[in-house]
Structure 1
């Protein structure tokens, strides 16, 4: 049978199922699919390319949102102290202040070429040729990335960008931004500026940032003094600071150091001899290895504690910033602070109060101590009696406020009254003016007189010198009442710069006998008492000589601080004589130092029958110092008040040891005269009961007439008995700590001062600073 023709068969509508036809048809389908896929890929690639190009081009102007010139603002601050022998012309570094990063800025010109070359050789050998990005290394890094291999492709400029921005996300976006930022950075800054910033900014392990901090940490020297091997050792750290830190992994550092030296040699940055010598040195490297972190976190002594607080306050005032901002500025500003600390005095004081037998072995009793010279320099301070275990902690010398008791009397009552010519019973206040030691009417309220004296006795007409020597409360209240408590208050606040007083302290109880609302600090009391040793001048106490910013500009200088003449030199000198009698034969004899003139004033506070505070503020011709003692939580210390004076004497004696005793340099217009004890006036020919006093030669008292001028004979010498004062008042003449009232009421925070029992002859008083009993449960303060 004849086979049909294929073409006719197909043309007739039949399908060709021959093998050749089937293969041809399948090929066409595959070709169409491939063309379709290729078209899709091409279109997708174009779209992605356009998108990628647009993405990249959108970041071509990626801003450099930092200023290299401002990087110096984020650097470690330093505190320096006087050198050996308390020599301010030879300061030595005491400690560093920084947070998070220990960085010390060093200018490009002070960085040795070996350090620059070592870093460039190992991190970016084409640094001086490229424009921020090394495209050869970048391409190499991309190839290695595809092979899952690590390879650093970033230039020094790129690394600087990454370090400053702290933008280290692993992403294409980050890398592209980094590239463009690096390119733009090199348009804005020179190569030298970029390398300077890099060498000062990157991490070198163990908490250090920058080559200067690293050199000081690892080699105990400045980077400018480091040799080739040492520079190579530092340069080798940056790739992996923990792995290559010479303190943690010295062998790793040596291996990396030798790699750096090899790169420097290969790039002809060092000679053959230099390379050989450096390689030999690398085998026996010595690292200082002090802990940079430990140096920053070390516990300061109490002086540095006060110093840091004073610098923070200075920055707040100078730049009108808040506390937190000032702290941040201090820790990141790269300041150089030259401390005024007397290191020997500070050390001996801190060691002394660690004694187990301090306060008779009572480990709970605390103290605050503050000492300064008569030109404002703070010499030493103690915030408490324990071993200091932290920084930025509460200080009983500069922070804690406690009622002053009688220690305030020379500043608030007798000093300003004498200086301003206040008249008591129509007689100006002088060394010997007689004060009627009796209670004030309505002191505690209607019908309640006060304050009482600690010995429950009043002493009639008493010379100012004796009233202060034995701390009679009633006498002080009499003078304050005559002068007006507002005068006292304004003198303390405006002339002596007390900052802790409240408006409610504008009353007799707070001003005359020391019962303030919140109290006062040892620092401000000590600063006030300086006027009695330097002829009436007030110098603001300072703990630092001067402060330099990171550019070396002095921003605060206390070295030539001017003084304020707050009372006349003659007043200061007369008060000095009176206060010397407190120590030579009054309430402060426990503070006497053999061979030295010492002035001072004691004070205690009372709360009912308890005595929670004891004070002594005093001075010698070389130093003025104050001390407070008591419990952190107010408890009775009545039988321990002498310790305060004894500790003051011990601390000051240590400071004066080896120094030649000299007298006070008092105003030459002060003269010695004999006065009549019965009138307080200069002794006349008929006066028989006399004593020596000190006066302004241009303002002498009148001469006693020997008759009607006598006041002691006009009243009984025993004066008022305790029963003459209100039975509701404290036996020590006090005011309530718990009461609050208007400034017109003396009981808003009244306080009393101790006085001492006087013999019938009124020439040999004996008393206790603290009364043995109290007539009232009212919380109070006494001296």
Structure 2
């Protein structure tokens, strides 16, 4: 029975199985089709994305690969591991400062607790030991993101991050990503995985000035990395993702959350046991900043500037794209974030070691100039209770006009412990001191002269008040700068923007003023109304640009920078390129105008004299409530910019504090120019004296352009006249049609048409033609017809009178315009004759001088 049942069941299964097989094949067929469809769709997307990617970024990719290979060829171990401290030398080759940060804290891979690198790998690069510098999954992510318009972000390997930290700026772009990948693969060929981990952990930034995990452990926990707990190690590794967000002293909650995520990954990937994990997550941390862990204090103003200058030089060599003006606040914020990241990275690398920085610092001269600032400001003894520094401060920058070098950077009053260098770090409102750079030099480029007159009247309430609370009427530009007219400066800046078609702050951005904001494209900055302001270093470099025939040179106190590992010179001061900001003649006229500030009896620096110079230029500056006081100026040899005020802006006594800036300026110039020949600023060939004033090529060009415009207008008038003559011929033909003698048979409709035809007559008034008499004759003929039909007046009479009066008014207008144009031309002819006489006289004088020289020979 059982066997029978078994046989029956087997037969049943045989009957059922074929049906099941058929159903299974059907389902497999459908799923296969669906899978193939999905795969095909994905393949098409990938192909389309790839085509799009290379169409859009092909050239960038090729260039980036070349750049990456070029940089990769220069990679060497000393880039990551510095055995030599950075030293800063003075102008005589003496050591001013030696920095030894990394030399003390560097820890090799074999001496580092393995848990540190394991924590890093678990959270940052799980396939670290499987790839060769670039994770292909990360590459695909980057390509797809770019193709779908989601930027160029994608997962970076530890090797890529190391490349970015050491060699590249934080710029986010396709080319930068490709360059990073090429260099990462080269890095993996040169060094072992353990070396790469060592270099990364010793060079990555952990915040609070700590570069390298050993330095970070000392800064946050007061002990070396090997003495930290597992939770502390995970916390430190977590900081590298974003030192601001995961700072254990200010964002402990975030730091612990990421640390525990790292511990979880370490457990899941087999680096730690479940027991180790449980104990670690149950632990706690107590982080605080141990300021004595790093010896990075730059307590010398000149050294601080040298490191700052070196940082920016090396950033430029890493192709960081400096930017000084922006189209939006978002763009400005994004740039500032990138700049800060790049700056901190390079700055800390310099402190970590490896460079010899030769400067032009003269310690003895610095002490003398510091003494001048300290002594003049000694009248103010109030102390800030929060830091025990003087409340009232001052700063000064001195630039050598022949080289463009910063001779001195005086950052404060020199009290013990006050290391903040206000000369290049403190942005203050420049007040009227900015006028030569924003208003006057661009105005001279437009062809204006020192004798050009501008009204000092405020046309509306948007214009700033003058410091003298009124108007002095029409002022020449020379007088306007001397008395520091705010209205004239504002008008000039507004006209410059409209005529030159550039932002008001265009020239400041060209001279690398770093405090510019999108809101500063406003004429109000011509009187110092900037969003953030300017430093004494920027103001000094701006005036020095005027002295240097309008050519800007970046203000640095660096002569050379060398790598200590191989002695290679990677920068020389002679490599700094000059940038043309103002024309030669505009720069010279501005400097000459600034002389009036002390030469004119009503100038804002009247009474200020220098012991060794009669040829010098100056401009004072005072902001609202005198919160910031300035004196900036130059001799042919040096430019000096002085500021005084409170660190937290407060109203000042202009009479005393403003005088202090002038006194510091005077004493500094007297010290620097002692023993030098008293010579005038070099006048360019594009400037000449004519008719008792300086005439520039720009002004002459403007006159030529005006003459050409007049010629064009005349040609246009001639064409217009011909067109009117043709129109009048047609009109005359109509008006000259034989008339019907009997008025009774001449209908009102025909007379009305004659009046309309009369209205079409074109009035011509030029210096050679006047057709009023012709028009008037036709008008009299039409009026005779009207009189016959309407002896006592009527509709036709009114129509005729309206046409005649309109033509009469048109004639008067054209005649007045003609007379005005003739008078203008006469004036231009007179001016040209006078200039020609002056030029003839100059030529005659030159010939006489040449003849005299020949006789002497």
Structure with the bigger percentage of strand: 1
The TM-score normalised by the length of structure 1 is 0.49
The TM-score normalised by the length of structure 2 is 0.45
Greater relative contact order (Cα < 8 A, sep 6+): 1
Structure with the bigger percentage of helix: 2
